[in-house]
Amino acid sequence: MATCEACNTIPQVVTSGYKEKGKWIELAGLKVYSTGSETSTKAIVDIYDVFGPAPQTLQGADLLASALGALVLVPDFFKGEPIKTEWFQPGPENERLKTAFMEKVGKYDEFGAVLRSVIEDGKGRFPGVEGWAALGLCWGGKVTALNSGEGTLFKVSAQVHPGRLAKEDAEKITIPHIVLASNGEPEDVVAQYKEILESEGRNGVVETYKDMHHGWMGARANFEDENNLKEYERGYNQVASFFAKHL
């Protein structure tokens, strides 16, 4: 645990021409982006959004690794086949492809099992890790929430611009948990999350970035937009600070 807030501040974001600091390894049969110290006592599994390991997401992983002195792992759950941006264009074929993809990635129990396999394999490869955390973006937020309850492998977890929020997920979370919502999530469910996670005896934080679109910390981050860049930095700093307290 850091002794001051400044110790957990992310480096400056590179807005163009970013060169990733990590490398690709294999865990549990998956390609995994690995960044940070492999001898760290802290590890974070960064679960991306439906657009896969986008540059903005991988830079976010690098930022957390630097801020926390942690090992950060980004598993490629979709095995090189994320959703395609062109599928969001009108047309029956694009709609069919998008629907099929969302049905496939909606099998959260299956992805939860894969997540646990990655961690178990990671424990063998990185024996110095004493505590694990999870950060989920959009789709990854749902996976994270569903794996933050009884019997969880994590000490702390987070969701940013989370997908498919559900009150019952919040009720089952048993560890410190932070949610950074955008203006694109249902306000009533975000409010339910806040009531539950910030109630007495819980170590939770729920905050809405009211000026931010869904995806501002992941693949849809637009670094040419000054406000998006500022809030991207603030969001990752907020996650880093929360993890520093509990990991």
Using one digit for the tens of pLDDT, what is the confidence trace for 147-163?
999 999 999 999 999 99
Query: How many residues does the structure list for the chain?
Result: 247
pLDDT at residue number 13 = 86
On whether the CB atoms of residues 132 and 153 are closer than 8 A, the answer is: yes
| Mean pLDDT, residues 3-14 | 60
**What's the whole-number average pLDDT of the chain?**
94
| Mean pLDDT, residues 192-197 | 97
The three-state secondary structure class of 148 is: coil
Q: Could you tell me whether strands 30-35 and 23-27 are parallel, antiparallel, or unpaired per DSSP bridges?
A: antiparallel
Q: Nearest 5°: phi and psi at 2?
A: -75, 155
Which residues have C-beta within 8 Å of that of residue 196, sequence separation ≥ 6?
Answer: 167, 170, 171, 202, 204
Give the H or E element holding residue 181: strand 177-181
The percent of residues above 90 in pLDDT, for the chain, comes to: 91
Q: Is the pLDDT of residue 143 over 60?
A: yes
Read off the pLDDT of residues 108-138 as tens digits, 9 standing for 90 and up. 999 999 999 999 999 999 999 999 999 999 9
| Mean pLDDT, residues 194-208 | 95
pLDDT at residue number 154 = 98
Q: Is the pLDDT of residue 54 over 90?
A: yes
Q: In 159-225, where does DSSP find H-type helix?
A: 167-172, 187-197
Q: Nearest 5°: phi and psi at 45?
A: -95, 120
Q: Could you tell me whether strands 177-181 and 204-208 are parallel, antiparallel, or unpaired per DSSP bridges?
A: parallel
Looking at the whole model, is its pTM more than 0.75? yes
